[in-house]
Amino acid sequence: MLPLYEQMLVIRGTEKAAQDLFLAGLVKGTTHLAAGHEAVAVGASAALRPDDYVFATYRGHHHAMARGAAPEACLAELMSKDTGLCRAKGGSMHLTHAAGNMLGSYAIVGAHLPMAVGAAWSAQLRGSGQVAVAFFGDGATNIGAFHEALNLAAVWKAPVLFICENNLYMEYTPIASVTAVPNPAADRAPAYQMSSAVIDGNDVLVVRDTVAEAVTRARAGDGPTIIEARTYRHFGHSRTDPAKYRPEQEVREWLARDPLILARRRLAGSGVSEDELTEVEQRAAQIVRDAVAAAKAAPEADPAQAVTDVWADGGAAWRT
């Protein structure tokens, strides 16, 4: 549990740093913070193999870091530095960590779900035992690609997990106001004869254990699973959103169930001393401070690199 707690602390700290750097004028473009969602990414990744595939949304900082992306590389990417995770070509909305099989963050809502099915089908054909995981928000459950991906995954019994980070709001609109079922992801599972679960997405161990069970089924050839993890974002939809549409009481109740608070409480209850917890917290804070300093000191990206690593041969000349 301690390593999971530390990983969540580092992710939270990195996101806070991203916010501070943006306010200082050092982050270019918009960002969609995942503060509050850390237990979903960290818990799920703890149940996966290093070679399993992960696909995320534009709110994907936590998934990139949970799959091994360095905080420094993520912050450098947001700051358009040459040492960025994608050498300044992706920014916040397109973090990709191919070395950790985190195959991208996607700005088009729901677009990556069929891609995850394709990755799972590839693993199935190769007999590699790999599993693909698509993380998505509650708003994607009313997108056509969601239903297309679920149907094909069920038909093929593909080794894919669909994990919905249900934070109750699809951008600014409450998901409950535009969806006919209470659980927008899990309640659609019966139509595709698919296993499903609705879980506490703020409890990292619940997430880990639920994902581990679904992964075991997928590797055994028993097909896909929908996991709806109920969680809550601590900030608005994006940088320009003050989130005033959310009831104050609702916000207070969810903040009291912060995944970091829950994890710390569980650790203390299991006998971990206050000194041990403080040590982990201080180490995580130092990792973030070092990442910020390194990202600030990194060289700016070279504009000449903009067209490299885009086309198959490294340049666009072959197109003309």
Number of CB atoms found within 10 A of residue 193's CB? 9
Q: Which CATH number fits domain 2-304: 3.40.50.970, 3.50.50.60, 3.30.365.10, 3.30.390.30?
A: 3.40.50.970
Residue 173 to residue 166: CA distance in whole angstroms: 13
Residue 204 to residue 186: CA distance in whole angstroms: 19
At a CB cut-off of 8 Å and minimum separation 6, what does 300 contact? 80, 81, 82
Residue 110 to residue 113: CA distance in whole angstroms: 6
Helix axes 144-156, 112-126, angle to 10 degrees: 10
Q: Which two tokens stand for residue 55?
A: 């696909």
Residue 159 sits at the vertex; the CA angle it makes with 153 and 161, to the nearest 5 degrees, is 80
User: What averages of pLDDT result for each successive group of 10 residues across the chain (320 residues)?
Assistant: 97 95 88 94 98 96 97 96 93 93 95 98 97 97 97 98 96 94 97 97 98 98 98 88 91 96 97 97 98 97 84 61
Domain ranges of the chain: 2-304
Beta strands of the chain (E only): which ranges?
53-57, 102-106, 132-137, 160-166, 169-170, 173-174, 195-200, 225-230
Residue 258 corresponds to which amino acid?
Answer: D
Q: What are phi and psi of 89, to 5 degrees?
A: -95, -15
Q: Which of 12, 24, 6, 8 is nearest to 296 (CA)?
A: 24
3-state secondary structure of 101: coil
